[in-house]
Amino acid sequence: MYPLKAAVEVIQLGRISYGRALQVQKLYVRRHLDSKDKLHNALLLCEHPPVYTIGIRQALYPFEEEQRLKLLGAEFFRSNRGGLITFHGPGQLVCYPILNLGCFKKSVRWYVCELERTVINLCRKYGIKAATSPNTGVWVGDNKICAIGIHCGRYITSHGLALNCNTDMGWFENIVPCGIVGKGVTSLSQELGRDVSIEESIPRLLETFSDQFDCTLHRGEYSNNE
């Protein structure tokens, strides 16, 4: 008898500040940790106002660098995800999977590879040839189209991926994205020569995620009162 597919709830948060999104992620992680007999796998989909974020290797970004970036009109956050500095902003589809890897495979390396394959397959649906590289994320040639940075504790995942749809790429010129010198960034819109919105991209992301992780997705609702 084949095991049942894992069920994953899809929560669309819309445009939400990065700080608030961190709080929502913590809430969904806590649901996993507090529940003994119920699974709470979720995909949190959102878009952020302009914000620069850094991961656990924070020594490279002193207070002066933080202030410089804030003066550009963006927020700045230090987080517990992997990876170096990146930008989130309007036109970028951000996906935070809050998953219990016990429902899938208890391997962080496997999980990151599956996220990469999910985005590669999404790009394929648009006719874009994307690939991985020795650096984490998804690339079109030497340009990163999707950044990936995750946290995993007790096999519960948080943070996730950020796919450039019709992002203002100028924001990336103020940093060395993900700390990788000599590489660029791109977007679905830039590659296709037409506007590709977040709204257009979401169904394709959900389809490729469901296929890659062999799970069933169902729509959920998030209440600000939670």
Print the domain residue range for 109.
Answer: 6-219
Q: Which residues contact 113 (CB under 8 A, 6 or more apart)?
A: 132
Domain presence at residue 193: yes
Helix (H) or strand (E) holding 27: helix 18-34
Active-site residue flag, 178: yes
Is 86 one of the annotated binding-site residues? Answer: yes
Is 82 one of the annotated binding-site residues? Answer: yes
Is 85 one of the annotated binding-site residues? Answer: yes
Is 78 one of the annotated binding-site residues? Answer: no
Q: Which listed residue (113, 146, 178, 215) is catalytic?
A: 178
The model carries a pTM of: 0.94
Q: Which single residue is written with the structure tokens 């209440």?
A: 223
Domain presence at residue 191: yes
First and final C-alpha spacing in the chain: 38
Helix (H) or strand (E) holding 129: none
The vertex-25 CA angle with 12 and 180, nearest 5°, equals: 95
Domain presence at residue 31: yes
Both structure tokens of 137: 């994320």
Domain presence at residue 164: yes
Domain presence at residue 140: yes
Domain presence at residue 225: no
Contact assessment for residue 120 and residue 153, using Cβ atoms and an 8 Å cutoff: no
Domain presence at residue 1: no
Domains identified in the chain, total number: 1
Q: Could you give the dihedral angle defined by the CA atoms of residues 157, 5, 112 and 20, in that order, rounded to the nearest 10 degrees?
A: -40
Kindly report the CATH number assigned to the domain that includes residue 181: 3.30.930.10
Domain presence at residue 226: no
Tens of pLDDT along the chain (226 residues) come to 345 899 999 999 999 999 999 999 999 999 999 987 678 999 999 999 999 999 887 667 888 999 999 999 999 999 989 888 999 999 999 999 999 999 999 999 999 999 999 999 999 999 999 999 988 899 999 999 999 999 999 999 999 999 999 999 999 999 987 777 778 999 999 999 999 999 999 999 999 999 999 999 999 998 765 5
Q: Residue 153, exposed/middle/buried by CB under 10 A (0-12, 13-18, 19+)?
A: exposed
Is 98 one of the annotated binding-site residues? Answer: no
Percent helix, strand and coil across the chain, each to the nearest 5? 35, 30, 35
